[in-house]
Amino acid sequence: MRKKMISGIKPTAQLTLGNYIGALRPFVLSQEEYDVNVFIANLHCITMPIDPEELETNLKDVLLFYLASGLDPKRSNIFLQSDIPEIAQLGFIMSCLTPMGELNRMTQFKDKKDTGMSLSGGFYTYPTLMTADIVIHQADLVPVGEDQKQHVELARNTAERFNNRFGETFVIPEPVIAKVGSKIMSLQDPTKKMSKSDKEGEKGVVYLKDDLKVARKKIMSAVTDSLGVVKYDVENQPGIANLLTIYAALKNISIKEAEAQFVDVQYGTFKKAVADVVCDELEMLHEGYDKFAQGGFVDDVLRQGADKMRPGAQAMLDKVQKAMGLDWK
């Protein structure tokens, strides 16, 4: 039997090249080998303040970019997280099985807390909802970028804890991290992750919706160094290392192979090659986006996805409730 893979993206803002290389592309490539299930994580969005209209637009965009990237609804299940209410129910149960000490150690929580912004309880417990997202579907594999690995490890711990306490119930999921491109960095500050809600650093972020000219300009203005050698050295040349990663990931080659293509090449020429490959990919995505936006069947995709996923989720929640003594039937 094919292994079951699950992953999702929060429709918090416009998708970035980081989301594409670290998540969307690996989802699409996985379709050959795995039973692929991909969702739009709208419940995770409301853990931070969000404008409802913006959320709705972003949600449609994520779906259109899933399709434009090559996710095929005939082969893979694509669904909206909130269309399966059992996930939120199981999320509460999972939060009761997760020690606060583990949640306090989550780096995404610590980073946001350090900014001094006011955080919601939902943001604090979001990794426990993510646990439910994964285990309710008995997923074997969870492809994620480097930043989400810790949350998948928390999901593994919680599933193991449940199995030990209440009997063998959940499959223990494995995180899958892409060999190249699991953490694309900002083009302006290559020590910082390229993030879709980074409003201050927009110049360092290539959005999938960016006009090709704008995207090209962002790559050509990427911060580099004065060493003048195209080499993968994250510590001393983080900007060049990031551009090499983007190039290698999109070309489907190793970093070594990418480096070999740019021996004795000047930074300007190297950046142009990176911009070309990014713009080719964006052009393909824009064409797909427009085609699916006009197709008018996007609602059906989500409906069919939820119809296929919900019965399994309901059965799993029943099993959990029985195992815990929550169910009198």
User: Would you say 203 and 188 are in contact if contact means Cβ atoms under 8 Å apart?
Assistant: yes
Catalytic residue chosen out of the listed positions 112, 251, 308, 319: 112
CA distance 256 to 245: 10
Tell me if residue 109 falls in helix, strand or coil.
Answer: helix
Written as six digits, the tokens of 314 are: 């309901």
Using the contact rule CB under 6 A, the part of the chain among 115-123, 161-169, 177-185, 224-232 near ligand AQP is 177-185
Q: Within 112-151, which residues bind ligand AQP (CB under 6 A)?
A: 144-145, 147-148
Question: Whole-number minimum distance, CB 169 to ligand AQP, in Å?
Answer: 25
- Among 193, 216, 218, 271, indicate the residue that binds ligand AQP (CB under 6 A): 193
194 binds ligand AQP (CB under 6 A): yes
Residue 166 beta carbon to ligand AQP: minimum distance, rounded to whole angstroms: 29
Cβ closest to ligand AQP, residue 255 vs residue 324: 255
Chain positions 15 to 54 lying near ligand AQP, rule: CB under 6 A, are: 16, 18-19, 21-23, 41
Pick the stretch among 52-60, 166-174, 192-200, 285-293 that binds ligand AQP (CB under 6 A).
192-200
Binding segment toward ligand AQP, per CB under 6 A, in 5-13, 132-140, 207-215, 245-253: 5-13
Q: How far apart are CA 256 and CA 200, in angstroms?
A: 33
CB atoms within 10 A of CB 97: 16
256 is catalytic: no
Residue 10 binding ligand AQP, by CB under 6 A = yes
User: 187 near 221, Cβ under 8 Å?
Assistant: yes
Site string for ligand AQP, 197-236 (x = CB under 6 A): x---------------------------------------
Between β-strands 4-9 and 35-40, what pairing exists: parallel, antiparallel or unpaired? parallel
What does R_g of the chain's alpha carbons equal in angstroms? 20
Question: Do residues 20 and 69 make contact, with C-beta atoms less than 8 angstroms apart?
Answer: yes
Shorter beta-carbon distance to ligand AQP: residue 182 or 237: 182
Q: Is residue 91 involved in binding ligand AQP (CB under 6 A)?
A: no
Q: Among residues 4, 193, 218, 271, which one is catalytic?
A: 193
Cβ-closest position to ligand AQP: 22
In this structure, what token pair is assigned to residue 262?
């740019």
Name every residue whose Cβ is closer than 8 Å to that of residue 239 and which is 6 or more positions away in sequence. Answer: 187, 190, 222, 223, 224, 225
239 binds ligand AQP (CB under 6 A): no
Task: Give the separation between CA 298 and CA 61, rounded to whole angstroms.
Answer: 11
Residue type, 245: T
Residue among 83, 13, 16, 102 at smallest CA distance from 49: 13
In angstroms, the CA 313 to CA 311 distance is 5
Percentages (nearest 5) of helix, strand, coil residues in the chain: 55, 10, 35
Q: Does 12 bind ligand AQP (CB under 6 A)?
A: yes
Residue with Cβ nearer ligand AQP (275 or 317): 275
Annotated active-site residue 112? The verdict is: yes
Is 217 assigned a catalytic role? no
Q: Which is nearer to ligand AQP, 19 or 37 (CB)?
A: 19
SS3 of 167, please? coil
Sole residue written with tokens 């580099």: 224
Binding-site size for ligand AQP (CB under 6 A) equals 23
Enzyme catalytic residues: 112, 193, 196
Question: What residues make contact with ligand AQP under the rule CB under 6 A?
Answer: 9-10, 12-13, 16, 18-19, 21-23, 41, 144-145, 147-148, 182-184, 193-197
